Structure 1
Amino acid sequence: MHRKLSARPRGENVGIASHASEPRDVVSTVLGFARTLRAAGVTASPDRVEAMLSAVSVLGVLDATAVYWAGRLTLCAGLDDLDRYDAAFAAYFGGEAPRRSTATSASPPPRVSSTAPLEQGRGAGEEGEDPSDLAVAASGDEVLRHRDVADLTPAEREHLRRLFTLVRPATPMRASRRRRPSLRGAVHPARTVRRALRDGGEVTRLLRRRARPRPRRVVLLVDVSGSMSPYADALLRFAHAAVRSRPASTEVFTIGTRLTRVTREMRLRDPDRALTASGEAIPDWSGGTRLGEVLKAFLDRWGQRGTARGAVVVVCSDGWERGSPDLLREQMARLRRLAHAVVWVNPHKGRSGYEPLTGGMQAALPSVDAFVSGHSLAAFEELSGVISRA
């Protein structure tokens, strides 16, 4: 099905397609939305995409509610896909996804922002459009990406949680001992000789091989003490996204007054269920901080046995230390000798005028390879790049 979106008279209900000077092809837009869903973890198979196209051709493309429900009923395979679908719909079309209308609700269905991918030309707020009917624009999402998590309202936090479902942290790779055939790399003597024997004993081609890349282990140590409580939820959601991306090579621990491994809880598919299970497993939530002692416990029990060896270790903490800074300095130096790279995430670094003056940060920084902020969604995207390049 190839249909073109046509402009509608000003003042009518504006849905997925608004007034456009150059209409876009519906099929290519739906295919782009399907790719966004797959990146968010929803299995939008080709037959489901075809079913959505058939539904949209019947319901029409100018009604945001119709397009939303056409995609939700055809592309989602289970309850676990619904939240991801809502977040992807909001991010791709530039507005909040429509919700079920209740018997007592008489409000009209929300409209998609005028910055949606399906249209060109007019912007939000022009004559004939009611701003109260417009959903959150893509520019609003961009502003939210750079807002400090600690300063968000409850509604903004809820919207940020949906955006977190679209985060896919990249995984650092390393060369393994296993090698595979390749057009470049070292010559493979055995395969070259066997090929020559088949060609009558004459070497006509040098066959090569090179190391096969493997994912490098990533270990996240998330501070859940009282001073980190405004950022703990966002940090754990980033950790959940990292585990979902590479469950076999990602470990998550929480640190405070005790060390708690929450990798198993983080492997739950739904982010809210994963955080709830982690909260039940953490005995020292919003307590004090003993970074040196907890880091020593991690290295004695886990790191020295292989968890930290050759791994990218990410410590998420503001550096407030109730114990001895000398112990923390000693353990950070020990960690640096074991790990491939040490990344320290401090949410306060994103604030203007911040300087690492606390005793904990002064003790840790000499053993840190990268010092980054973790105060916003944009900062977490930057952190993902730092981890992948480590």
Structure 2
Amino acid sequence: MSSAASGAGRPPPRTETVPLGAAATALAADAVLLGFVRALRSAGLDASAERLYAFLRAIDLLGPGKRADVYWAGRATLCGGHDDLERYERVFAAYFGTPGGSAPRRDQAAAPPRLGLATRAASTARRGPGGSEPPGPHTATLASSAEVLRHRDVAGLDAGERAQLHRLLAAFALQGQTRRSARRRPARRGDVDPRRTVRELLRRGGEPARLRRHTRVTQPRRIVLLVDVSGSMAPYADALLRFAHAAVRGGRTEVFTIGTRLTRVTRELAHRDPDLAMAALAQAVPDWRGGTRLGELLREFLIRWGQRGMARGAVVVLLSDGWERGDPELLGTQMRRLHTLAHQVIWANPRKARPGYAPLAAGMAAALPSVDAFVEGHSLAALERLASVVRGAASRATPVKGAERA
């Protein structure tokens, strides 16, 4: 009796009350929530570890996994400002399948549809059979399907899964690394600005004045995406181009398609609506599902745009499987030229994720010595890792050295 009285009002420890099956279900629910936060980060939200912890604590206190509960808990803890709300609602609608793609309203929060998210064990203990609310479902159906989709190969998705993938990619954000430019701006700290300081002295008639300071301006590096639309890349081209569309919306991104021709499609992808952008792109690209002439087209890119400034100091990303119908030596030569111009060269290959893959294709083998990071590009999770490489964050990119350079 004394122990029961002392524990009144507090949930019992999970280690003492949770069966093995319930603990596994709670862990599955945690994985779903973590996947949701990763999707938010890919959309550009600054969902830090502190905000993630606050989000999980809020879900733990709310009890059963209702869609409205999860929505308002995430909105209150994961959004840092007004600019984050639109991205948050898009990701939530794509991840949890909100009907109509709209966020739940406050007047609907009393009886929202059940979310396929597992109930936490502590909440179940608080709201037992005698509680006012029954325990939530024990399977993560809706949300876990989105988490599973993140790791699925794009080539094996059906029509419904592709539609969900498109919604997740529509909320994507690609940000480049920052660099210090030659321009300077006034600042409270930094180097002394002699011109502004002298002008201040003259304005005061030579009387002592406060030192004026300035600092270097930082700006994002340009990102250049070269997307392979040849026949061998047909299962992945649509998803990769929607990834490119999200990158163009972020600014300072140029996109080219490569196959038998080189086509600049930045203007077509500038449409805000992804479907309109894909329709405009389909009209502009004449070489869908054709052959591949990587070496010749890379040389054309360098002559027409790269050497004139587009590739200088930029992060250049090639999204291709590396199949080359032309001369592999030409591709190797042009890759070396590109490497000397660009700040970083990244190659994303959808075939890299397949078991037993080795870069043995002639084009891929010729290009790898000039590649700084060799990553996968077959799934949404792989594209998220690619985005982390582009912005210079820690990632699981394969360093290209040793045996792979041979």
TM-score, normalised by the number of residues in structure 2: 0.68
8 Å Cα contact 1:111/1:135 also seen in 2 = no
8 Å Cα contact 1:252/1:261 also seen in 2 = yes
Structure 2, unaligned runs of 5 or more: 1-58, 64-68, 102-111, 394-406
Q: CA deviation at 1:141?
A: 2.2
Residue 312 of structure 1: aligned partner: 315
Shift in alpha-carbon separation, 1:215–1:96, aligned structure 2, 3 A: same
- 2:358 is the alignment partner of 1:355: yes
- 2:24 is the alignment partner of 1:22: no
Report the residue type matching 1:346 in the other structure: N
Separation in 2, partners of 1:371, 1:236: 19
Report the residue type matching 1:358 in the other structure: A
Separation in 1, partners of 2:345, 2:357: 21
Residue 265 of structure 1: aligned partner: 268
Separation in 1, partners of 2:141, 2:211: 61
- 2:368 is the alignment partner of 1:329: no
8 Å Cα contact 1:254/1:262 also seen in 2 = yes
Shift in alpha-carbon separation, 1:87–1:385, aligned structure 2, 3 A: closer
8 Å Cα contact 2:152/2:379 also seen in 1 = yes
Report the residue type matching 1:347 in the other structure: P
Q: CA deviation at 1:329?
A: 0.9
Output aligned runs, 1:279-318, within 5 Å. Answer: 279-318=282-321
Q: CA deviation at 1:352?
A: 3.1
Q: CA deviation at 1:370?
A: 1.4
Q: CA deviation at 1:305?
A: 2.1
- 2:162 is the alignment partner of 1:146: no
Output aligned runs, 1:1-390, within 5 Å. Answer: 22-23=61-62, 31=76, 38-39=83-84, 41=86, 85=89, 87-91=91-95, 95-99=96-100, 111-115=114-118, 121-122=123-124, 136-137=142-143, 139-195=144-200, 206-246=211-251, 249-389=252-392
Separation in 2, partners of 1:238, 1:256: 18
8 Å Cα contact 2:295/2:330 also seen in 1 = yes
Separation in 2, partners of 1:145, 1:21: 24
Separation in 2, partners of 1:315, 1:237: 15
Shift in alpha-carbon separation, 1:357–1:209, aligned structure 2, 3 A: same
8 Å Cα contact 1:40/1:165 also seen in 2 = no
Shift in alpha-carbon separation, 1:99–1:384, aligned structure 2, 3 A: closer
Report the residue type matching 2:142 in the other structure: V
Q: CA deviation at 1:128?
A: 7.2
Q: CA deviation at 1:237?
A: 0.9
Shift in alpha-carbon separation, 1:222–1:39, aligned structure 2, 3 A: farther
Shift in alpha-carbon separation, 1:29–1:363, aligned structure 2, 3 A: closer
Partner of 2:306, secondary structure, is helix
Partner of 1:365, secondary structure, is helix
1:238-262 CA-to-partner distances (Å, cap 9, x unmatched) read 100000111xx21111001111111
Shift in alpha-carbon separation, 1:379–1:87, aligned structure 2, 3 A: same
Residue 51 of structure 1: aligned partner: none
RMSD: 3.5
Q: CA deviation at 1:40?
A: 7.3
Shift in alpha-carbon separation, 1:205–1:229, aligned structure 2, 3 A: same
TM-score, normalised by the number of residues in structure 1: 0.70
Report the residue type matching 1:155 in the other structure: G
Report the residue type matching 2:61 in the other structure: E
1:142-163 CA-to-partner distances (Å, cap 9, x unmatched) read 2221222122232222211111
Separation in 2, partners of 1:206, 1:89: 52
Shift in alpha-carbon separation, 1:120–1:296, aligned structure 2, 3 A: farther
Q: Runs in 1 of length 4+ with deviation above 6 angstroms?
A: 24-28, 33-37, 126-132, 197-200
Report the number of matched residues: 314
Partner of 1:263, secondary structure, is coil
8 Å Cα contact 1:219/1:313 also seen in 2 = yes
Partner of 1:141, secondary structure, is helix
1:152-199 CA-to-partner distances (Å, cap 9, x unmatched) read 232222211111122111122222221012344322123334556678
Partner of 2:175, secondary structure, is coil
8 Å Cα contact 1:228/1:318 also seen in 2 = yes
1:36-85 CA-to-partner distances (Å, cap 9, x unmatched) read 9944756xxxxxxxxxxxxxxxxxxxxxxxxxxxxxxxxxxxxxxxxx95
8 Å Cα contact 1:39/1:166 also seen in 2 = no
8 Å Cα contact 2:118/2:137 also seen in 1 = no
Shift in alpha-carbon separation, 1:331–1:225, aligned structure 2, 3 A: same
Structure 1, unaligned runs of 5 or more: 1-19, 43-83, 101-108
Which piece of structure 1 moves more, 21-30 or 201-210? 21-30
Which piece of structure 1 moves more, 309-318 or 20-29? 20-29
